[in-house]
Amino acid sequence: MSAFQGLKSLLEDNTTRSGRILEIFLQTIIVISLVSFSIETMPDLTDAQLHMLYLIEFVCVSIFTVEYILRIVVASNRPGFIFSFFGIIDLLAILPFYLATSLDLRSLRILRLLRLVRAVKLVRYSKAVKLFRRAFILAREELILFGVLALMLLYLASVGIWYFENPVQPDKFSSVFSSMWWAVSTLTTVGYGDVVPVTDWGKVFTFFTLVIGLGIMAVPTGIMASALSEARRMAANENKPKQ
């Protein structure tokens, strides 16, 4: 086996012992970089701590850069890898470091942990992903219709609360657009409480919006539950031995 073929097998074949060790090593580096990034967001860090975190990030980015370049080199279809899901994630995870931009995309590295599913050969999770994909396809039209109706209700709720509350709370409900935050938190039944109605009609309108919101949250759950049941039934029929 040539050195090129050996490198290609190491990077792309997770069934071998060396390939699996490399994959687990890279996943460990990803976790270290994510923990380092999270620590970096803490206030009151000393210069020494910030310097240490920078060194960790430098080492992690160096490893990711070498890996990214090597994967391009050994790829059978280089444009296909570069524009693939993992190829784009790999690039976005290291590019801001070299461009010195304020846009920090290090958190996207957590998506690279999806490679671990392939590395340890969790076939049952692969089947689950296919099941969900089929369910989404089956429920696609219903979900699109629900999304359109939800946006329409969001707009109407924003207009309604603006109409009732703007005269007494012009700072919080200054426009329909500023009222959308209230509409989103109310329709999704989150209810943060930072923007609340104070007029009687505003409170009545909020009550009906909350009731509608409870129903809205139940609709996609029911749609997906039904689609998953149908997808399971279809998968079971496909796996039945033919007579």
Read off the pLDDT of residues 227-240 as tens digits, 9 standing for 90 and up: 888 888 887 777 66
Task: Tell me, yes or no, if the pTM score tops 0.95.
Answer: no
Full DSSP string of the chain: --HHHHHHHHHH-TTSHHHHHHHHHHHHHHHHHHHHHHHHTSSS--HHHHHHHHHHHHHHHHHHHHHHHHHHHH-SSHHHHHTSHHHHHHHHHHHHHHHT-S---GGGGGGGGGHHHHHTT-HHHHHHHHHHHHHHHHTHHHHHHHHHHHHHHHHHHHHHHHHHHTTT-TTTSSSHHHHHHHHHHHHTT---SSS---SHHHHHHHHHHHHHHHHHHHHHHHHHHHHHHHHHHHHHHHHSPP-
pLDDT tens-place string over residues 137-166: 888 888 888 888 888 888 999 999 998 988
Domains of the chain, earliest start first? 3-121 (1.20.120.350), 135-239 (1.10.287.70)
Residue 223 binned pLDDT confidence (cut-offs 50, 70, 90)? confident
